[in-house]
Amino acid sequence: TTNDNLGEAIQFLRDFDREAAEMCNRVTNSEWKFAINSTEFNKRRMREQQNLASKFECLSWRRAASFDSSTIVDTGIRRQLGRIVEPGRCGLGDDKYAEITHVISLMKENYNNAKVCPYHGPHATAIAAQSANYVTGYATYCDLKLEPDLVQIMETSKVEPELKHYWTAWREKSGPPVKNTFMRYIDLANQAAERHGFNDAGDQMRSVYDDSDFFFTVNDLWTKVQPLYKQLVTFARKGLVRQYGEHVVRRDGPIPAHLLGNMWGQNWRNILDIIRTSPPEMPDITGEMVRQGYTPLKMFQTAEEFFTSIGLPPMAPEFWRNSLLQKSNEVTGNCAASAWDFCNKVDFRIKQCTQVTLDDFINAHHEMTHVQYYMQYSSQPFLYREGPNPAFHEALANAISLCVGGPAHLQKLGLLNTAVSVLNGNTMINIEYLLNLALDKLPFMAFSLALEKWRWYVFEKGPVGMNARWWELRLRYQGIIPPLVRGYEHFDAGAKFHVISDQDYIKYFVATVLQFQIYSELCLASHHVGPLHTCNFYRSREAGRIISDVMQQGASLTSSQLIKLLTRGKTSRLSVEPLLDFFRPLEAWLELQNRDEPVICYFAFTRRFF
């Protein structure tokens, strides 16, 4: 039966607000302990707390679903109830909920435990030789794991047979063993989505983006970016032909996926040295940081000063006392950088095994942006203590990264010592910066879209022919092909963790679009004049007011309402115009570099290259 008692709904949400925050605090504490000290005991305690949280989630879902929200006039109450009822899988019932949890756990376990054999051909990467334990001259332990071994090899090796070996070996170990398990996951996820009022699981995943036409929105956004991306692909392909020869890379065709400096071809920064046409212009920022005596602590103090300079609050004493900002002997867990909200409105932390490098300097600002977001919306009800959609946190953090990682800010800090003013957006330092950033951002957008379009297709149409569909979409959006024939027996999408772990990925596409919108608005507020990528809103209090206004809302506003607030009423929709404006000098430069190259429209092809 449904309950239309408004008073009971209000009391339920009050109770939920308190109990959910307490549960979140217990789970986060257990996850933090395991993250810095990965013992079996801490893992068991973490699993216990996570299981309790799952039970609490489903109990809360049943209670919230019992209210007839159509009779509740108060939109705030109705919206909070909807945020409990619509997501998740609790509509499956206890048995099937336990089954889908178990199915996802099995796939993650296979992924995390997968190991491959080393490559024995000529010029093998030293990483593999060091990681592989040779028993005799003929036998080898196959003990290479994805991280750090395979990731480092794919980033650094220039030996094509070696790259092909590891690319293939990882997909053999990660995909086929869980293919049937993944099919069961599809079935259960779709059943859950239908119980929650959606057509399928893809429809449920898209619902968080507050756009009934979201499927077509992302298509339209990418269509506008694609001309720039094609120029980047053409330029990258030319460099790869020089490196590997036309017998490996066709001058007028798509790029083999194993040559792009990344296991999944989602980030191409590691091939910059291959494709560049002249010696690097950018001075060694990391070396300059070392010479100036930067330490991990100083890097985070510099990040804090950036935020206070635009009017945001400093980090609380608890942050400095509880955060893990550099590697210590006691830390045995994963060193991936992350920001943590302990759900009690006072305890916010960062875990980062910081090295004195430019990348970690930018990461320090990135992670501290997340903490600022936690602090700003901490006064909201628990259900609103997050972004209005999964992309907002990353978008805000990356908008700050665009500022602090740019030549203008580095020159302001005295870390980029050059006689040339970087405010002239067409200098080679600027072009190199933009090229490096484009190799990071644009392939990632294309990969995100291909992955999610594939997943939505599988949820809607079923798993028949899903591997062929995977490569059709990778070709259409990214312009890449597998280095060898792939058949129905393969499951290459399963080589990506987010696929088998049931994690949304289109958020990275949306976050990339949104970060340039945010950056552009902050530059406008700081009265920047000149090419967009030379903007530095450091010390702009007006830019800080906009960031604070957006962050304080949390999820209390919809994403379209928040974009309207961000843009001061100009628009409520995502736009790629700021992204295109940011990269406009690079696009002109790429067109000049590609004037003698065929810019082939092979993105629309499907089976021709298989």
Whether residue 366 is annotated as binding a ligand: the answer is yes
Q: Is 519 annotated as a binding residue?
A: no
| pTM higher than 0.75 | yes
Catalytic site residue from 160, 162, 367, 386: 367
What is the tens place of the pLDDT at every residue in 511-520? 999 999 999 9
Residue carrying structure tokens 């893992």? 43
Helices (H), 254-390: 272-275, 285-291, 296-309, 317-322, 358-376
Does residue 357 register a pLDDT over 80?
yes
Listed in sequence order, the DSSP H helices in 66-117 are: 75-85, 94-113
Q: Is 166 annotated as ligand-binding?
A: no
What backbone torsions phi and psi does residue 324 show, to the nearest 5 degrees?
-110, 105
Q: Residue 356 carries which side chain, given as an amino acid letter?
A: V
pLDDT at 193: 96
Quick one: 222 exposed, middle or buried, by C-beta within 10 A (0-12, 13-18, 19+)?
A: buried
Residues 12 and 64 sit within 8 Å (Cβ to Cβ)? yes
**Higher pLDDT pick, 335 / 2:** 335
Q: What mean pLDDT do residues 72-81 have?
A: 89
Asked if 2 and 66 touch (Cβ cutoff 8 Å), the reply is yes
Q: Which residue has the tokens 């792939």?
A: 486
pLDDT at residue 610 is higher than 90: no
Q: What rounded mean pLDDT belongs to the chain?
A: 93
> How does residue 137 score in pLDDT terms, banded at 50, 70 and 90?
very low
Query: How many Cα atoms occupy the beta-carbon half-sphere of 479 within 13 Å?
Result: 28
Over 80: is that where the pLDDT of 580 sits?
Answer: yes
Closest CA relative to residue 348, chosen from 379, 371, 377, 381? 371
Q: Which amino acid is at 181?
A: T
153 alpha-carbon distance from chain centroid = 21
Tokens matching residue 20: 């959910």
- Residue 385 contacts residue 20 (beta carbons within 8 Å): no
Give the pLDDT confidence score for residue 151 in this predicted structure.
Answer: 95
Per-residue pLDDT, 379? 96
All residues at 6 or more sequence positions from 365 whose CB lies less than 8 Å from its CB, including other chains:
303, 306, 400, 401, 404
Answer whether residue 230 shows pLDDT above 90. Answer: yes
Pick the more confident residue, 600 or 404: 404
Q: Could you tell me if 20 and 56 are in contact, meaning their C-beta atoms sit under 8 angstroms apart?
A: yes
Q: What angle do CA 222, 226, 227 make, to 5 degrees?
A: 145
The Cα–Cα gap between 441 and 443 comes to: 6
Known active-site residue 498: yes
CA distance 72 to 75: 8
Which of 521, 510, 506 lies closest to 582 in space, CA to CA? 521
Instruction: Report d(CA 399, CA 96) in Å as an integer.
Output: 41
Say whether the peptide bond before residue 122 is cis (omega within 30 degrees of 0). no
CB-CB neighbours of 41 under 10 Å: 10
Beta-bridge partners for 400? none
| pLDDT greater at residue 605 or residue 23 | 23
Q: In the structure encoding, which two tokens stand for residue 75, read together?
A: 């939109």
H or E element in which residue 490 lies: none
Q: Which amino acid is at 130?
A: Q
User: Is 332 a residue whose pLDDT tops 90?
Assistant: no
Residue 279 pLDDT level (bands cut at 50, 70, 90): confident
Compute the distance between CA of residue 408 and CA of residue 422 in angstroms, rounded to an integer.
6
Residue closest to 225 by CA, chosen among 605, 581, 531: 581
Q: Is 209 annotated as a binding residue?
A: yes
Q: Does the pLDDT at position 405 exceed 50?
A: yes
Catalytic residue among 498, 542, 591, 597: 498
pLDDT tens-digit series, residues 427-482 = 889 999 999 999 999 999 999 999 999 999 999 999 999 999 999 999 999 999 99
Question: According to DSSP H, which parts of 66-175 are helical?
Answer: 75-85, 94-113, 126-131, 151-156, 160-174
With a cut of 80, say whether residue 319 has pLDDT above it.
yes
Mean of the pLDDT values across residues 372-398? 97
Q: What is the pLDDT of residues 196-222, one digit of tens each?
A: 999 999 999 999 999 999 999 999 999
Band of residue 327 on the pLDDT scale cut at 50, 70, 90: confident
Burial (CB count within 10 angstroms: exposed 0-12, middle 13-18, buried 19+), residue 484? exposed
**Which residues have a Cβ under 8 Å from the Cβ of 69 and sit 6 or more positions away?**
78, 81, 82, 85
Tokens, residue 291: 């010479």
